[in-house]
Structure 1
């Protein structure tokens, strides 16, 4: 009996050592080919800009080419479908966003995927507050002036978003519900397309992340009225918050991160997270993100997962405060 027990313990130890060796080999083997980061929106938006900012340095860390592919449409769901159609080996990743994972589950009755079952959290890249931008020809300089102007012209002003059910859409709906103004939502397939029409004046305003819009404000083509977050941004201290304008509890802060498909090997996920965290800690990258009004994060998979659960609940409460209903 003692010999049999010893052999059992020995076999368990050998099996455990084998698993550890296999995991080590998997970590060493990944990546074995170029890595793709899928962005669910058209070029020129904040997610696209951030993905392309980190891709070259991530490629150096991984020792493989890192390509950014835009798969715009359906509020990011087309990119999710492309991710889930690819092998779950870590070589195809998703630039996951607030709209796709935290907002749409509350607004779409029949989601084409289950965020909690089909995706795996890898790391949060940034926190990204929105700024309320208006076309420079619109005769308003503050949020209070915008609200008064819109009240005198019900249904005449419109606001752009990077897609129905995205954070920029919800921020506009929050402004409507909190102030009682009547402005019309126009959805695009990404920030780049939306911004083009705001710049031309075909659309009056947009809630956008500074990284993709402040260049136009500095050039005098847009006017930054307020930060839709809990505090002013260090990069733009002169721009007040929406709450400073008297609109209480207006904090639709968004985020971007990296997700992988279910069943992606843990060793690959850990390697990707580790390399992205290194990139975000590089002084040049961190400085660029902060200058663009973004906050680098680089969280662990476990911490990002917990954040996603809480953030989905937060946005559910935001949606309850608007007139939006699931469709």
Structure 2
């Protein structure tokens, strides 16, 4: 009994020491410069979330949070770099949903599994998409647009900001849900896709409110419907797809904060708490307002559940559409 008691005490001390060690690790975070990888070119929507977040964390914690844009491979290159980094909270990822919940189904050869190799910290932005058409299109609402596309019998195209983006897959979801035949025209980003839409070279596209709002306000595009569950305060006169008779179309371009898998839970908890402090500040609240996003800061556990649900949803859309990249 004395031997068992001694072993139990030793085990207890070891567990306590481990807990104290992890706690001290969290207390010391960040220990130096934090590298915030954005796996997209500078100036994109992920930057709109990452830069005010990094600025706020820098101001609150007194350590530099350096935005590191590593574009390529549909977000896979920068994301893979975070996966390979040391799980100590000194390297973080801010990305759109594509490399997390779409690319695993779209790319045949992924070098990482985002559900296993990344630790969700919190959602940062959740932005609805808008279905817009060139002003010359005769359709004034979704019902008229669907009739117009059907009459084209497959001779109709829609643009997107690239293969595997939420914009692309929302178009595929719309096509499969409504049984309408449409040809996908991918571009390298929203800007060139919008440029061709404005020029009348493509008749229709889905895009986030972040990118398309200036062109809606200027009247250079005609807006048909929004993919959110409720109308957006930025576009109060624009009906949702549900209001327009197609309730299956609910879609968002979302942007989240992640760390490498294996990062201690108390470090994740501290990063989450500090990120949410920034998100509740005036600078980030302005970002939420300007992009039409509600506050979406959440616990790591709830964000993980959201990510898994999105993975299942978009995996099915990819499979049903037959979309592939490599």
Q: How many residues are treated as equivalent by the alignment?
A: 326
Bigger drift between 159-168 and 272-281 goes to: 159-168
TM value normalised by structure 2? 0.87
For 1:10 and 1:43, the matched residues in 2 are separated by 54
Q: Which residue of 1 aligns with 2:140?
A: 141
1:31–1:64 CA contact under 8 A, matched in 2: yes
2:87 maps to which residue? 88
Aligned to 1:107: 106
By how many angstroms is 1:48 displaced? 2.3
Bigger shift: residues 170-179 or 280-289: 280-289
Query: CA 1:188 to 1:152, structure 2 compared with 1: closer, same or farther past 3 Å?
Result: same
- After superposition, the Cα gap between the structure-2 partners of 1:42 and 1:206, relative to the gap in structure 1 and judged at 3 Å, is farther
Where does structure 1 lack aligned partners over 5 or more consecutive residues? none
Give the distance between the partners of 2:39 and 2:192, measured in 1 at CA.
Answer: 13
Q: Distance in 1 between matches of 2:34 and 2:157?
A: 39
TM-score, with structure 1 as normaliser: 0.87
**Residues 1:273 and 1:318: Cα distance change in structure 2 (over 3 Å):** same
Alignment match, 2:315? 316
Taking structure 1 as reference, are residues 141 and 44 closer, same or farther at Cα in structure 2, changes over 3 Å only? farther
Aligned partner of residue 295 in structure 1, secondary structure:
coil
Pairwise CA distance, 1:152:
4.5
Q: Deviations over 1:220-276 (max 9, x none)?
A: 233322101322113321111123233341112342211122222333322211111
Task: Provide the alpha-carbon RMSD of the alignment.
Answer: 2.7
Asked whether the 8 Å contact 1:35–1:66 carries over to 2, the reply is yes
Distance 2:66 2:138 in 1: 42
Q: How far did 1:139 drift?
A: 4.7
- What is the CA deviation profile of residues 57-105 of structure 1, one whole-angstrom value per residue up to 9, with x for unaligned ones? 1222332222323322322112212223433322222223332222222
- Structure 1 residue 20 corresponds to structure 2 residue 14: no
> Contact 2:158 / 2:204 at 8 angstroms: preserved in 1?
yes
- Out of 168-177 and 150-159, give the one that drifted further: 150-159
Q: Distance in 1 between matches of 2:251 and 2:272?
A: 26
Q: Residues 122-161 of structure 1, C-alpha deviation per residue, up to 9 Å, x if partnerless? A: 1122332211123445454323343344344456543332
Contact in 1 for aligned 2:54/2:66 (Cα 8 Å): yes
Name the SS of the counterpart of 2:86 in structure 1: coil
Q: Cα gap change, 1:313/1:23 in structure 2, threshold over 3 Å: closer, same or farther?
A: same
Q: Tell me, in whole angstroms, the C-alpha distance in 2 between the residues paired with 1:38 and 1:160.
A: 28
Report the counterpart of residue 203 of structure 2 in structure 1: 204
TM-superposition CA deviations, 1:26-64 (whole Å, max 9, x none): 113221222222223334432221222322112223322
Instruction: Please tell me whether the aligned partners of residues 162 and 189 of structure 1 are also in contact (alpha carbons under 8 angstroms).
Output: yes
- With over 3 angstroms needed to count, the CA separation of the structure-2 counterparts of 1:189 and 1:25, relative to structure 1, is farther
Taking the aligned partners of 2:22 and 2:60, their CA distance within structure 1 comes to 19
Q: How many Å separate the matches in 1 of 2:54 and 2:40?
A: 17
Q: What is the Cα deviation at residue 323 of structure 1?
A: 4.7
Alignment partner, residue 214 of structure 1: 213
Asked if 1:121 is matched to 2:115, the reply is no
- Residue 232 of structure 2 aligns to a residue whose secondary structure is coil
Aligned residues of 1:49 and 1:212 also touching (Cα < 8 A): no
- Distance in 2, matches of 1:275 and 1:197, equals 41
Question: Residues 45-64 of structure 1: matches in 2 within 5 Å?
Answer: 45-64=44-63
How far residue 171 of structure 1 moved from its aligned partner, in angstroms, is 0.8
**Would you say the 8 A contact 2:97–2:256 is kept in 1?**
no
Cα pair distance change 1:138/1:45, threshold 3 Å: farther
* 1:97 corresponds to 2:105: no
Provide the rounded CA distance (Å) in 1 between the counterparts of 2:91 and 2:135. 40
The aligned counterpart of 2:260 is 261
The equivalences for 1:187-202 within 5 A come to: 187-202=186-201
Could you say which residue in structure 2 is the equivalent of 1:237?
Answer: 236
